[in-house]
Amino acid sequence: MDLEPSPLALPFPDMPEIAGATPRVARARYKDWDRCDLTYVELVEGTSVAGVFTRNVCCSSEVELGREQVTLGKARALVVNAGNSNAFTGYRGREAVEQIMAQVADHLGCQPSDVFVSSTGVIGVPLPKDKARAGIAAALEAPQCSWKEAADTIGTTDTFAKGATASAMIGDTRVELVGIVKGSGMIAPDMATMLGYIFTDAAVDPAFLQHCLSAASDRTFNCITVDSDTSTSDTVLAFATGGAGNVPLTSVEDAGADAFFAALHDVCRQLAHLVVRDGEGASKFIEIVVGGAVSDESARRVGLAIANSPLVKTAIAGEDANWGRVVMAVGKAGEPADRDRLSIGFGGTWAAREGQPLADYDEAPVAAHLRGREIRIDVDLGMADGRASVWTCDLTHGYISINADYRS
């Protein structure tokens, strides 16, 4: 992490320990560097797990295995390798993951399927088994570390450590949630990968935990974009240890289920925003609020079309209230829209209403807003009540420098 921190970085929050989840870090030296690059989190027996994974069909062995493992609903350990993504490495890549699962399972006396593995870094190079074996052995002996150290260790090209926390009351029991995430620095010669892990001491049935994580991800992790490219390794896992001793949550009807979901959603939203804040070359954080769509899903698609438009993103980088480019992006989304009902605004000021520029449009407050670091674009499609928020960053020379101005 030799890069300058992103100008949009936020400080790492104070994060509580989570009963039943013990993070440790070690040096596997997957690359020629002197830093911790292997994260190990031991989880108490009875821990529930849920996960969401990349939809990229060229996914890594870790993702293939993880998808199967979460259906079993239980976890005893998480291992995250940084510096080698192990993607596109055929059977040798898969063998390396299975070795790690077996080594940890042997140590804990659990099933290999209770051990979750993620990897991030260069692709096309099988994870070196000897380094993994020694790294795991070192991690099993290492003292407990802080969540900040774990967040630093899962990072690769991230410019700052990313964490979030929240709490909720389930009946009389207070439960804590913490989350760490890495991404979306995609520097030489790697591809973007977002890895996120959430730990809670709440007792939650695996099926309900999966329900909550999927719902929260749809409105957070699936509503961010840096450059429209989708990693082969993206993974978000949630682990619930039950250490808080609450009556286990099994459905949305349970007392405290709403509060738990709200807290999980809050952690996911914070983590997703932190990823955008570390977007390569980002100088502005952009929130796109789409209303008046035919459905929430349609609003999300329109929002992502705007967020992925290089012309919109460069306009924001240039502090230019170019609402014409937003119109273009709305139109290309392929969702129901009507040019003559469309309204577009920046920072709370409408620039165009119902298909035409405002006659009395005052550009001064918009120009002032665009000079800031936190940008808001409002789009009202004027069709129905569907709405969504989407987050992205601007597209700058920094992105080109990071991704083009080097050789792998």
Residue 297 among known ligand-binding residues: no
193 is catalytic: yes
Helix (H, G, I), strand (E, B) or coil at 169: strand
- Give the closest residue to 227 by CA, choosing from 375, 381, 404: 404
The CA radius of gyration of the chain, in Å to the nearest whole number, is: 22
Nearest approach, Cβ of residue 193 and its own copies (Å): 10
Residue 86 among known ligand-binding residues: no
Residue 182 among known ligand-binding residues: yes
Query: For its own copies, what does the binding mask look like between residues 256 and 295, x meaning CB under 8 A?
Result: ----------------------------------------
Binding of its own copies by 340 (CB under 8 A) = yes
Q: Report phi then psi at 288, rounded to 5.
A: -115, 115
Strands (E), 195-284: 195-200, 235-240
Q: How far apart are CA 343 and CA 311, in angstroms?
A: 19
Closest CB to its own copies among 7 and 245? 7
Nearest approach, Cβ of residue 286 and its own copies (Å): 13
Q: Where are the alpha helices (DSSP H) in 219-335?
A: 257-277, 296-307, 310-317, 323-332
Binding of its own copies by 368 (CB under 8 A) = no
Query: For its own copies, what does the binding mask look like between residues 113 and 132, x meaning CB under 8 A?
Result: ---------xxxx-------
Binding of its own copies by 229 (CB under 8 A) = yes
Q: How far apart are CA 244 and CA 246, in angstroms?
A: 6
Binding of its own copies by 90 (CB under 8 A) = yes
Identify the residue among 120, 231, 246, 392 touching its own copies (CB under 8 A): 231
Q: How far apart are CA 247 and CA 206, in angstroms?
A: 14
373's enclosing H/E stretch is: none
Closest CB to its own copies among 270 and 322? 322
Q: How far apart are CA 329 and CA 226, in angstroms?
A: 16
Identify the residue among 173, 295, 314, 389 touching its own copies (CB under 8 A): 314
Q: Among the options 54, 120, 193, 392, which is catalytic?
A: 193
Q: Report phi then psi at 189, rounded to 5.
A: -100, 40
Residue 148 region by backbone torsions, left for phi larger than 0, else alpha for psi between -120 and 50, else beta: alpha
Identify the residue among 17, 149, 205, 319 touching its own copies (CB under 8 A): 319
Residue 280 among known ligand-binding residues: yes
Binding of its own copies by 95 (CB under 8 A) = no
Query: For its own copies, what does the binding mask look like between residues 155 and 194, x meaning CB under 8 A?
Result: -------------------------------x-xxxxx--
Q: Report phi then psi at 114, rounded to 5.
A: -85, -5
Q: Report phi then psi at 200, rounded to 5.
A: -140, 150
Q: Which residues are annotated as a binding site for substrate?
A: 156, 182, 193, 280, 403, 408
What residues make contact with its own copies under the rule CB under 8 A? 55-59, 87-90, 122-125, 186, 188-192, 227-232, 308-311, 314-315, 317-325, 327-332, 334, 336-340, 342, 352, 355-357, 394-397, 399-401, 403-408
- Which residues are known to be catalytic? 193
